[in-house]
Structure formats: structure tokens, C-alpha cells
Structure 1
């Protein structure tokens, strides 16, 4: 006699489900873990640029309340603390920080992304990236920077649709070089402090100094170079807290009244951080590099001696050549990468979309084109007013030999034979 079916034992435990990874905005209690994760990931990488990531996170913890208040209404610092975390079983496993890159918020930037070593190669980095791309739907383009030697991070970003856009080099100019540069009297008669009236001129300079591909990704407009009274007040408060001072000046071309050079210099009053400069020069006025550098070197002499940090891109070879001759030190090279919104559209399609589209296209009626015979063209109809260098109206270099076009035919030879 067969044994009856065994009844399930109610005391036996069901198999445990895999713990769920929770992606959420960071809270005040998460900042200690966020600091450790970012410091572990970027301490060594940022040391060459004299960037103290721990100090930045501590400052965020100190001003967490005011920053959360600023995030409630539009202003320049609204997204200064936009941090999301990946939590697994109550522990923070990954961190991502993002911010809008332009005023219209059509382009966003991934500032930092890091995963604890024990949780790497588990897809947490990709999940954090996609979480932010779905959360901030106003972004049409995403950009980020990655060290050229960080092959693992490059593979992660390529896997998520990011493509190389430009290479950025970070430079450091020693205080001794700055002191020597300050002895040169800069020949800049049209150098003026920047105000909101200069916004359109600086916008034109900015767009004219970069390739079209980069300009399309950055997607800046005039509003990116204007400062509202609230933004000015918040920027002044930030300078007081960080003990820095900011100087913005631009150079105008005397005849055309257009901006041809611009710099934004952040000066450190404590002597603990390097001075930081953003420099823009029109490609047709590269002779401005030594003059603007001499002006910035003079401004640094009123502060504790510190190095000057600035960047260059691979589409600015004149700047890199000048900095090398100056004796600047190449501290880091990064790759600027971008991801278009079209990658998001392709990911959002359902699996049956391509099959359905192919089925629809198969049912559409297809008409074969009917070849038409061209009669002999009237003489001179191929002539064009812009092709007047050749007697026949065409450039002799653009006429292909008969061997490549096929043997020429006489129109009369194609007439039907006479009836016999």
C-alpha cells in the first residue's frame, strides 16, 4: 500500500526572501555614513586637486537645516544637497549626489557616486544612476567626470549609456610662479568688473569658445550668467562662511564691443585651500592668456601664498601649451561623459514594442517606384551662378570619368529602329 502524501510541517520555516535594496533621499542621520563612503572612494583621487571631501560633507552636516530650507524654493543653492542613498538591511551601501548644470535644468550633473567595497559589482551603482534619471525627469542630458585611470567607473558609465565628450586636465601653478607673473604689467585697457549688463556678452563668449557638441550638451543661455539679488546675497553668505572672496572680470574688444576674455577667481583667505580660477578666452584671442594670468597672479598676492588651480580641455590646445611653458603641474586628467535622454526613451519601451512595430510595417502596402525616362536636358540647365570658374559651369575636379559613370549614350541611338 502506497504511503499517503506527506503533509507540510507548519513548524518548518519558509525560505527567506532576498533583502530589498531601498533607494531614497539622504537624511541627516545618514550623513556620517555618507562621509565615510565618499572619503573612502575619493580621498586619494582628490588629493592632487587639494579637495577635502570630508570637509565638504562636514559643512553640509553643519548647515543641513538651512540647506533643506533653501531646497524648498528656486535659487542657486536649491540643489546643493541633492543626495540619494542605497540602503540594504538598514546599512548605507551606496551614495549619489547630483545637481542641475544649467539654469533651465535641462542638463544635470552627477557630482559623486560611490559604493562600499563589500557591495561592489552587484549593480548598486547602476541602480543609483537610473533612480536619479527617473526621479529628475526634467533632465534631458546628464554629464559627469571620471578619472581616466578609473577603468571600473568608466565601464559602469558606458554600461549606462554615457559616451565620452571631452578630456579635462587640472593644473596647479605654484606660488613662486604666481609671484613671478605678478611682476608683469598686464596690457588690458578694456578689463572691467562683471555685472549683469555683461551677461549676454559673456554668454556669447562662452558659446563661441567650445565645440558645437559640447555647447549642445551644456545648453546654457543668458540666464546662466545673470545673478539675482537673492543669489548674490546667498553667494556673499557662502563666501563669509568659507572665508573666500570672488572676483569676476571680463575683457572687451574695443571696436566690436564683444567680450573676448573672462575669468572668475575664488581667493582663499585662510591659506589652507588653493585659489581656484575659471578662465574663458575666445579662440581668436589666445594672446590674452599671459595677460589674464598676470592679472590673476597680481590679485593673489594680497592673500596667503597658495597655489592656483585651473582646468583646460582638449579642445583648448593653446591654453595647455601656455600652461606647460609656464611650469604648471598636471595633477589630474578626467574624461567628461554625457548621456542623452534618448537612452532613457529606449529603456522605457516595452519588450514587445519592436515586434509590434515590425508587424505593422509588414502590413503596410509597398509601391515599387516607376522609373521615368529623362529627355535630353536643355543646354545650360546645369549651370549655376556659383559655378562660374569652369566654362561648362561645373568644377573640373568634380566631373567623374566615363568609366565611373558608365558608357555615355547618344539619345538618337536609343530611338526604336525604323520599320522594315
Structure 2
């Protein structure tokens, strides 16, 4: 069963979202999660229209089309057609406060955006969403060009030049999947292969895709899907058809490729939220806390050393050869001594006791000790009283002759 939920958020954010296009609505599963976001800029409405077409197509073709069925049954797909409804209504780039939302996220190079309380409500809503859902990958849809853009979006020296992130090869692969499946994106004369590094095109700071990758472990692309920002209504079905296979193939690649698995504790058999790393790539993907599942996107056709680790456990690594199909790889980690087991217990119960709460706990223990001591003292007094009575009775009773 597929379901859609209309969620109205306070202030400026209106979100039309599925709780995951999935065969098990509202249920958490050990599956990769992907999100599409449209209309980040109010004057770029094509994305919102294309995403509504995608939602309808999935609902209409589930159990009829193999690709639709594959996506619905093997991943959680979240669709946010409009991130900036106020800007759309006003027909300008920013939100109602005239703030460019794709410059409003905390940035790795400049600390000006790091004050969360100063962020726009739309920005905070996306940040909370990413922290809540544990996304594997995502894409935001824009207009005004025809290209698949990937991190980094900015540079340390603010210059305009290629500045790749640790997963540069993986991002190039993801962008190429989209571009090569598009009607004409890969034929671009401006962008080789229809893809571009963001900083090489033009640097921006406070962008959403870089923040997703750094803080959410979410591999996000910025997709420019229409040269015209405000096309005629009659052109929208054509734009949808030009992007349909690109969107579907990007989603399917998340299922058909990469390394997927779960991490367990050897002593308890329970899933644990460990970290997964690829040797030679300076980035980490964390497994989910609920299922211990991880989904690591990497370029197919290569050999990799995959390592899993977690505080309190001994790390493990293994070598794989990733062909065109996905590799399933589970890790069972051995506890690293007694301290490691205690750390795991603290992590599982997630106890964050402040000093005041700790005082109340200790106070409760003190009263328990006093109660036990009082009970022992009472028993002692009763016993002593009975013993004294027996002594008096013996002292005043007739003496018997002693046999010699």
C-alpha cells in the first residue's frame, strides 16, 4: 500500500511528503532512504511540478512496472515538492523574508551561518528532518540550467576552481547516472558530460548539498533540470518525460549498487550504530540505531577494503570486489573488554542524568539503607527483650540439686 501525507508546518513551511514511498507505510525498515526536494528557490518552480508527476507515476505503476515496484519495495522515498512556498507565491528567489535558502545552511568554511537560531524556519525544518530520518542520499531540483551539480559547492580560498570532496568519484558517478539517463543533459556543450563540480561552476557558501554530506552523511546532488525557470504549462509534461528515467535510475542505483549490510554486537546479537569506512576515502557512514543497517554508495567495478568500527568494540575489515550489482556485507563486532560492554549499555539506554537527578537517585538509596538498618535494630531490640525475660524467669525459679 502506498500513502501520502499532507503535513502543514508552522510559519513559512508547507510540506507535501510521503512517510516514505514504501510497501510498508509508516514502518521503519532496514532500507536506504532517499529524498527529493523541489522549489528551493521560489522562482524555480519546475522541480515541484516534476516531483508531483513522480509521485503520481509511482502510485499508478506500483506492481505494474518493474522499476516502480523495485523502488517502492526496497527503499524509503521521501518527496518534498516545495521547500519555499512563500517565494513561489511571490515569484521571487528567496522566502518571505527574502533570504536565499540555498545560502542559509551552516558552512564548513565560514562560521557566519553556524548560529542555528538565526537560520530561517525552512532551513531548520530541513536540518531536523535530515537528523531524524537517516537519509542515504538525496537531490534538490532547480531551474535555469541543465546540469547535475555535486560537492563541494565552495572552496577554502573562495576561488572559482575544482574542489572535490572525499567522495568525489562517487559523486561524479551519481551525477553521471542522472545525466546519461536524461534526454539531452549529457550532450551539453557547456558542461562536459552534463555534470559539474559546484565550486568549479561558481562557488556558493551555506549551500544545502554540502551541509547534507558533512552533517547528515547524506550524498546530495543539486540538479538543474530546465534551462527555462518559468516554462509554459504545456511544456511541463515534456520536461517530466525528459527527467523521468534520470530520477528513476538514480533511485534504482541506490538499491542495485554499493555496499549494504548491518552491524551487530557479538555478545548480545543486537544491532549497533557503528561507523563504516572505505580505506582511502576520508568519510564515514553511520549505521542506524534501530536496525544497525548501513548503505554505502561507491563506484562499481573496483576493489575496496571496508571497515566497521564502534566505540567499545574491536574494529573489523574485509576486502570486496564491487561489480555492477550491490554487495551485502554484515559485520559482527566483538566487545573490547568490560569497559566496552559498559559503554555499550550506557549508549543503549542513552542515560543523560544531570547532577540534580543523580542526587535524587543517591538520596533514594540512602533512605533504603536507613530503612534496612532500622529493621535490623528493631529485630535486635525484640530479641534482647525476650532474652531478658528468660533470664529473670530463671533467676527466680526454685534451684534444683546439682548432681555431683
TM-score range, shorter chain: under 0.3
When normalised by structure 1's length, the TM-score is: 0.23
When normalised by structure 2's length, the TM-score is: 0.24
